[in-house]
Amino acid sequence: AGQKRPRDDEEEVEGADEVEEDTRDPETKRVERLSIVQKKLLTHSLLSFSNCRRVVYSTCSINETENEGVVRQVLEDERIVAAGWELSQIMPSWPTRGWKAEGSDIPTDYTIRCDPNTDETNGFYVACFDRIVPSAEEKKKAEKAAKKKAGSTKIADSDDEAEATEEADEAEGEGDVEGEVEEEAIGYDNE
């Protein structure tokens, strides 16, 4: 009485009434849910604070999913890379390092992993992210290179004209440096 009989124009799909049961153990499910939250929190911290230059991610866990797994996922996010975030090597002399994933270029061995058996601790994990922000001079060089590349089809009529343009660019850049320093100082005071 409770089953719906398919019409002639509908295909009957075997097992359509069956719900796929999640057979993973409760601990695996819990760790996966935690790692999703941890990834969201870490991503938020790396993308939401423009003046932030260092973020330390730490767990009281020895589970790879929550540790290196979260770090790898975050560093695979193009927004994180575009914002200049990189994994920094911390305490290079510490003997137990994060685990590298086969085929991954992400240096999770820059992180620290403490194991209860090896390090006589309850176990924990630490990763340090540093934002690489180009200096005013590096920004100026990059902008100049971009202008040069964009204008590579334009050729100066004379050496004097090219030199005058270069001097003007340098004078213009000097003002930008002062403005950037002042802007950064004000930004730190306001946040």
Q: Treating both helix axes as pointing N-terminal to C-terminal, what angle do 159-190 and 136-150 enclose, rounded to 10 degrees?
A: 140
Choose the catalytic residue: 52, 60, 114, 128. 60
d(Cα 150, Cα 161) in Å, to the nearest integer? 18
Contacts for 167 with CB less than 8 Å, ≥ 6 apart: none
Largest CA distance in the chain: 94
Please tell me whether residue 169 adopts helix, strand or coil conformation: helix
60 counts as catalytic: yes
Catalytic residues, which ones? 60
